[in-house]
Amino acid sequence: MAELLDGRLLAKDVEDRLQQVVAAGLERAGRPPGLAVLRVGDDPASGVYVANKEKASARVGIASHGAHLPAGSSAATVLAEIQRLNADPAVDGILLQLPLPAGLAEGPLLNAIDPGKDADGLHPCNLGRLLKGEPGPRSCTPAGVMALLARARVPLEGARAVVVGRSILVGQPMALMLQAANATVTVAHSRSRDLAALCREADVLVVAAGRPRLIGAEHVKPGAVVVDVGIHRLPPSAADGPSGRGGLCGDVRFEEVEPLVAAITPVPGGVGPMTVTMLLVNTVASWRAAFAPPVAGAGGEPAAADPLADLLP
């Protein structure tokens, strides 16, 4: 039976560590870390995601400075709000919740976020830092995957890794992070020939194709580690009852793949919780950097271990 890479468990552990870091730095900083989730319009799924991020922030002691602009807001209005948050000294992390309403281009707005407050790690400047191996906020979903792999002590050095998907949000930064961990990485996409054969080469297979149940037994090498980033709501079925909302599934046919592999993430409860947690890590790291160097020993004492050391680049 495969080991389950439990994102909820790891997220709880990281939240406990973040709470410690916030409590320890509060007096010196004179204020809690601040995260602003900027929402535009009324996409219902976004409403749930924003609420979850704000609840998670509250659990670790991060203050929420979110703003909710109406669906008809112009690009200039959203830009002005981003600039206000960039200038607000109580805000350490800014996240523009996607998708934006039709007619608003996300690129220029994402680029307007101060790279030092880029809680999502998606600013071109921070993607460039990832490419160059320099410190900076890392994209939350792939960083969460790396944390799950590290927690399960999955050996990456010299391993063959295949990433299915090449989006800027997940696939590309994922491939860079695995490469930085000395894996040999192949990136597959919708034009790749013989996806199953490519995937079967993987010791570590990360699937971020956004295609429900794309990956099955024919795509995995026995004993591989499989990370399923996909998340999809299934249409309600008769079994859900009259108020049914349908279940969730990933890009992987879990029931087919799980018996073959060494470890696998569940959906839900795998990558999703870690994505939110890494947003908190980026925010707390930026807060801490603003008022104090990372934990250091004084007077020749050995430096206290940094509770976030394994989560930061």
Applying CB under 6 A, among 20, 86, 167, 186 the residue interacting with ligand NAP is: 167
Distance CA 29, CA 197 (A): 53
Q: How far is the CB of 217 from ligand NAP (least distance, A)?
A: 16
Does residue number 175 form part of the binding site for ligand NAP (CB under 6 A)? no
Q: Which stretch binds ligand NAP (CB under 6 A): 9-17, 83-91, 97-105, 160-168?
A: 160-168
Q: Which stretch binds ligand NAP (CB under 6 A): 40-48, 150-158, 230-238, 296-304?
A: 230-238
Q: Which helix (H) or strand (E) holds 125?
A: helix 124-132
Q: Which residues contact 154 (CB under 8 A, 6 or more apart)?
A: 204, 225, 263
Helix, coil or strand: residue 92? coil
Distance CA 11, CA 278 (A): 9
Question: Active-site residue 97, yes or no?
Answer: yes
Does residue number 208 form part of the binding site for ligand NAP (CB under 6 A)? yes
Does residue number 275 form part of the binding site for ligand NAP (CB under 6 A)? yes
Dihedral sign (CA 278, 254, 5, 24)? positive
Applying CB under 6 A, among 110, 272, 281, 288 the residue interacting with ligand NAP is: 272
Q: Which stretch binds ligand NAP (CB under 6 A): 98-106, 110-118, 161-169, 298-306?
A: 161-169
Looking at residue 259, what DSSP letter applies?
G
Catalytic residue among 6, 92, 120, 228: 120
Task: Answer yes or no: are the C-beta atoms of 286 and 278 closer than 8 Å.
Answer: no
Question: Active-site residue 118, yes or no?
Answer: no
Distance CA 219, CA 211 (A): 14
Distance CA 230, CA 207 (A): 7
Distance CA 285, CA 36 (A): 15
Does residue number 190 form part of the binding site for ligand NAP (CB under 6 A)? yes
Does residue number 46 form part of the binding site for ligand NAP (CB under 6 A)? no
Q: Which stretch binds ligand NAP (CB under 6 A): 17-25, 121-129, 227-235, 292-300?
A: 227-235
Distance CA 104, CA 71 (A): 10
**Which residues are known to be catalytic?**
53, 97, 120
| Residues at the interface with ligand NAP (CB under 6 A) | 141, 164-167, 169-171, 188-192, 195, 208-211, 214, 229-232, 271-272, 275
